[in-house]
Amino acid sequence: MIVPGFRAAAAEAGIKYKDRLDLGCIVCERPAVTSAVFTRNLVKAAPVLDAIQLFSGGKRFRAIVVNSGNANACTGMRGLEDCRRIRRDTAHLLGCAKDEVLVCSTGVIGAFLPMDRYVAGIEKAVSRLSENGLSDVAQAILTTDTRPKMANRTISVDSYRMTIVAMAKGAGMISPSMGPPHATMLSFVCCDAVVEHGFWQDVLNEAVDASFNRITVDGDMSTNDTVVAMASGIAKNPLENGTGILAPILREAVTDVLMDLARQIVKDGEGASKCVSVKVKGAKDVLDAELAARAIADSNLVKTAFFGQDPNWGRILAAAGRSGAVFDPDEVDISIGSVQIVNKGMPVGPEAEAEAAGLMKEEEFSVVVDLGAGSHDFQVLTCDLTDEYVHINADYRT
Amino acid sequence: MIVPGFRAAAAEAGIKYKDRLDLGCIVCERPAVTSAVFTRNLVKAAPVLDAIQLFSGGKRFRAIVVNSGNANACTGMRGLEDCRRIRRDTAHLLGCAKDEVLVCSTGVIGAFLPMDRYVAGIEKAVSRLSENGLSDVAQAILTTDTRPKMANRTISVDSYRMTIVAMAKGAGMISPSMGPPHATMLSFVCCDAVVEHGFWQDVLNEAVDASFNRITVDGDMSTNDTVVAMASGIAKNPLENGTGILAPILREAVTDVLMDLARQIVKDGEGASKCVSVKVKGAKDVLDAELAARAIADSNLVKTAFFGQDPNWGRILAAAGRSGAVFDPDEVDISIGSVQIVNKGMPVGPEAEAEAAGLMKEEEFSVVVDLGAGSHDFQVLTCDLTDEYVHINADYRT
């Protein structure tokens, strides 16, 4: 998967483990129009604080350096100084300005980066840069993920052909938030379109809001979440500022790519064996639909019932009932896939539940809750809560 | 444990399982001054809807009938009619009015009560009523609990001696809420004091707010939560309306009893192996302290780290950071018990963490987070999240 203008590579830097790819570098041959969104967690890791400062200038960027195994979070001034050193050293190797380099980290909180190994890793990665290197970076950024996550789209407008390749990592500490768009993991988007900066940020905001902001694994929001989208401009299409014919096509393509990655994240959620779409409809307004959908999608009792392949609609209804959404319980319908199991607040019967339980044996299924209170809906993608999730997270640091 | 004026008994009604106590009856020999709080879940079970209607009259009550194994929730008009039949039949057996009987249920949602067996169970329980029967009722109300939960206090004022005996059940679907006092499980309080009705409701509100409203097992709020406190008046003390010398003593004793039960519930939380007190202090106001304490206490990542005996303060800090509380991460101190592991937002070091991990081997320990932003605090009692929790809830209905 190649995007004109971009080269990438990964290296075994030994950040936390030996002999695995844990440091990646994505480089654009020219300053790329770059948009980004960051975690809304009050506790932000050093690289996030550093990147937010850089972005306040609205500048173009040449490179992303990213590592797994260490989040560089809760590391105080030293963490920030380490970020600056990484930017300076990378810029030196690439022959660009240090303010054109973004640093991202993911991994354990509260440990200093092993800077000697880190810097050696950058040198190794830069020496390996190639057009085909993006998939190695997708490998290098993984933590508790079991597989790399990539997605791509090609679009054509007039005689211009454009490519979008994106990657993401994230399996735990994954939760949507209800504020303005922000990321919930690491994701990098490379594109070769010629775009105006404000439009490119709008495209990312919309895409993140429709994708990463509507998934949950465990309801915990990370200190390091970052999504960066770089556009190299190599496609040489007329500058798109949001008013041209490329605009809707590009919006849709970037949203598609991030929704694809979001689904991959949920499917690879820590310990997850099921990917479940929870749709609340018939709400009196969108906020109510969102409150109910998120309460259901984050409920441990609902998620363990998914694991148990048990159409335990009582837990679903109880979660909606405590969500703050306003509705009449006697008007609620609930379906698993195409099988209705609750009609006007009461069970349809054991046969319907047996059929629904059959559908829940699949790796993917949907839950639709109709509140019967209006015409608004909201959908969240979640996974089940398994004993494997507990094992992964009880043993994470040992 | 005897409270003058009260008799109680339990029976094997076969509501869900055969040959276990699953129906209880608590009877006061005279109309008792009764206070109660109910779930704030929008989805309320039939017995809760029925009881709220009865309470709107502010009347005195003679009896509580309670069953486990079936929540009589999401059962529509038939569920309400079943409640009324239970009250009518019980009143007939006891020789009181049907509006003097309260019904409580806990168990599976969405199934009708087996009324023939239920009514036979009431008859059996009433035939067994005795002063010593409260502990049988404490046994009969259990669902996923592994042991009965009772607490008692005796208080003396002048020459009057008064007794409080209380019981509770609840192991899952246990979560505090942030609104006005309300219950999060079933709990019954029997007392023999002479009290004015409004004061008795105040006493219960305060006690619930300081106890059941500050615990969490899984963050899910039930459809059936109810706490009922009955005062028989047999102690013949001067009527207490909140202004007498008994008032503060009674408030403290009832609060003590419910805090005792709240702790028992957390210790017996589904799959729980640890009982952890999470205290947030140094907050700029009480709401911030509460937001941060609840976010930490409900975080799956924090709770799995408790299970893993891992002083993973990064997860604690990240949970506080997404809670909505306002603070400077560089001012935060975190301790496990007496061992400080975070100082001004940064780790104290591996030795401190090793010592903290040692404390976490205990069944009970405390986490103290000082936000360094003010002088307000809030404390929540939580448990760890274990693979056993997942097993219990994935298999609950099968």
Residues 6+ apart with CB under 8 A from B61: B28, B31, B32, B34, B54, B100, B101, B102, B228, B230
For range B321-329, the mean pLDDT: 93
Residue B33 — pLDDT band, cuts 50, 70, 90?
A: very high
Task: Supply A86's token pair.
Answer: 């990484």
pLDDT in tens, B251-286: 999 999 999 999 999 998 888 999 999 999 999 999
Asked if A314's CB is within 8 angstroms of B71's CB, the reply is yes
CB of B71 closer than 8 Å to CB of B107: yes
The whole-angstrom distance between B261's CA and the closest CA on chain A is 23
Q: Which residues of B touch A385 (CB under 8 A)?
A: 300, 390
Please give the single-letter amino acid code of residue A378.
F
The whole-angstrom distance between A141's CA and the closest CA on chain B is 19
pLDDT in tens, A117-168: 999 999 999 999 999 999 999 999 998 888 999 999 999 999 999 999 999 9
Q: Which of B184, B216, B223, B255 is catalytic?
A: B184
Q: Which residues of B touch A223 (CB under 8 A)?
A: 314, 317-318, 321
Q: Is B178 at the interface with chain A, CB within 8 A?
A: no
pLDDT in tens, B94-131: 999 999 999 999 988 889 999 999 999 999 999 999 99
Q: Which residues of B146-156 are buried (b: 16+ CB within 10 A; e: fewer)?
A: eebbbbbbebe
Residue B132's pLDDT is what?
96
The CA distance from B283 to A126, in Å, is 46
Q: Is A43 at the interface with chain B, CB within 8 A?
A: yes
The whole-angstrom distance between B320's CA and the closest CA on chain A is 8
Q: Has residue B155 got a pLDDT over 80?
A: yes
Q: Is A293 at the interface with chain B, CB within 8 A?
A: no
The reply to whether B184 belongs to the active site is: yes
For range A297-316, the mean pLDDT: 93
List the single residue in B109, B172, B304 with the smallest CB-CB distance to A390: B304
Interaxial angle between packed helices A387-394 and B387-394, expressed in degrees from 0 to 180 and rounded to the nearest 10: 170
∠ Cα B121 B127 B128 (to 5°): 95
B340-349 long-range Cβ contacts below 8 angstroms, 24+ apart: B341/B311, B341/B313, B342/A74, B342/A110, B342/B313, B342/B317, B344/A76, B344/B372, B345/A74, B345/A76, B345/B317, B346/A74, B346/A75, B346/A76, B346/A110, B347/A74, B347/A110, B347/A111, B347/B313
Residue B183's pLDDT is what?
42
Residue reference for tokens 């022959």: A95
Give the pTM. 0.86
Q: Which of A184, A216, A226, A382 is catalytic?
A: A184
Asked if A43's CB is within 8 angstroms of B321's CB, the reply is yes
- For chain A, the distance separating the N- and C-terminal CA atoms, rounded to the nearest angstrom, is 36
- Taking CA atoms, what residue in B is nearest to A296? B220
Residue A380's pLDDT is what?
94
Q: Which residues of A touch B396 (CB under 8 A)?
A: 305, 308, 310, 312
CB of B218 closer than 8 Å to CB of B173: yes
Quick one: DSSP state of residue A106?
B
Q: Which residues of B touch A74 (CB under 8 A)?
A: 314, 317, 329, 342, 345-347
Residue reference for tokens 């008046």: B233
Q: Which residues of A touch B42 (CB under 8 A)?
A: 320-322, 325-327, 329
Q: Which of B42, B102, B97, B101 is nearest to B73 (CA)?
A: B42
Least confidently predicted of A364-368, B6-10, B171-175, B392-396: B171-175
Q: Give me the residues of A, 296-315, that contact B with CB < 8 A.
A: 299-301, 304-305, 307-308, 310, 312-315
Beta bridge partners of A277: A366, A381
Q: Has residue A181 got a pLDDT over 50?
A: no
pLDDT in tens, B188-217: 999 999 999 999 999 999 999 999 889 888
- Taking CA atoms, what residue in A is nearest to B71? A314
A199 in helix, strand or coil?
helix
Q: Has residue B37 got a pLDDT over 80?
A: yes
Q: Who wins on pLDDT, A194 or A17?
A: A194
The CA distance from A167 to A172, in Å, is 16
Q: Is the dihedral of CA A257, A259, A262, A266 positive or negative?
A: negative
Tell which of B48, B74, B81, B371 to mutate to test the A interface (max A CBs under 10 Å).
B74
Pairing status of strand B23-38 against strand A149-157:
unpaired
Q: Has residue B397 got a pLDDT over 70?
A: no
- Taking CA atoms, what residue in B is nearest to A79? B346
Asked if B346's CB is within 8 angstroms of A75's CB, the reply is yes
Asked if B75's CB is within 8 angstroms of A329's CB, the reply is no
List the single residue in A175, A315, A398 with the smallest CB-CB distance to B310: A398
Residue A398's pLDDT is what?
53
Expressed in percent and rounded to 5, the helix, strand and coil fractions of chain B are 35, 30, 35
How confident is the prediction for chain A on average, in pLDDT?
A: 92
pLDDT in tens, A33-69: 999 999 888 889 999 999 999 988 767 999 999 999 9
Residue B174's pLDDT is what?
66
Residue A180's pLDDT is what?
38
The CA distance from A38 to A35, in Å, is 10
Q: Which residues of B touch A390 (CB under 8 A)?
A: 304, 307, 385-387, 389-390
Residue A397's pLDDT is what?
60
Asked if B109's CB is within 8 angstroms of A317's CB, the reply is yes
Asked if B109's CB is within 8 angstroms of A345's CB, the reply is no
Q: Is B76 at the interface with chain A, CB within 8 A?
A: yes
- Taking CA atoms, what residue in A is nearest to B79? A346
Residue A396 — pLDDT band, cuts 50, 70, 90?
A: low
Task: Supply A127's token pair.
Answer: 């020496």
**Domains, in order of start, for chain B:** 6-267 (3.60.70.12), 275-394 (3.10.20.340)
Asked if B108's CB is within 8 angstroms of A314's CB, the reply is yes
Please give the single-letter amino acid code of residue B245.
I
Residue A221 — pLDDT band, cuts 50, 70, 90?
A: confident
Q: Has residue A71 got a pLDDT over 80?
A: yes
Q: Is A244 at the interface with chain B, CB within 8 A?
A: no
DSSP string, B166-198: EEEE-SSS----SSSS--SSEEEEEE---B-HH
Task: Supply A232's token pair.
Answer: 């190299």
Q: Has residue B184 got a pLDDT over 60?
A: no
The CA distance from A13 to A21, in Å, is 7
- Taking CA atoms, what residue in B is nearest to A386? B390
List the single residue in B43, B318, B390 with the smallest CB-CB distance to A304: B390
- Taking CA atoms, what residue in B is nearest to A176? B322
Residue A237 — pLDDT band, cuts 50, 70, 90?
A: very high
Residue A260's pLDDT is what?
94
List the single residue in A41, A76, A220 with the smallest CB-CB distance to B299: A220
Residue A347's pLDDT is what?
93
Residue reference for tokens 């309306």: B241
Question: What whole-number percentage of chain A has pLDDT above 90?
Answer: 80
Q: Is B182 at the interface with chain A, CB within 8 A?
A: no
For range A203-216, the mean pLDDT: 91
Least confidently predicted of A120-124, B175-179, B320-324: B175-179
Residue B393's pLDDT is what?
84
Please give the single-letter amino acid code of residue B221.
M
Q: Which residues of A touch B320 (CB under 8 A)?
A: 42-43
Residue A178 — pLDDT band, cuts 50, 70, 90?
A: very low
Q: Has residue B398 got a pLDDT over 80?
A: no
User: Dihedral of the CA atoms A309, A310, A311, A317 (nearest 10)?
Assistant: -120
Q: Give this complex's ipTM.
A: 0.83
Residue A182's pLDDT is what?
41
Q: Is B30 at the interface with chain A, CB within 8 A?
A: no
For range B323-339, the mean pLDDT: 95
How confident is the prediction for chain B on average, in pLDDT?
A: 92
Residue B392 — pLDDT band, cuts 50, 70, 90?
A: confident
Residue reference for tokens 């494997």: A388
Asked if A321's CB is within 8 angstroms of B345's CB, the reply is no
The whole-angstrom distance between A187's CA and the closest CA on chain B is 20
Quick one: DSSP state of residue A329?
G
Q: Which residues of A touch B220 (CB under 8 A)?
A: 299-301, 315, 318-319, 322
Q: Which of B254, B172, B257 is nearest to B215 (CA)?
A: B172
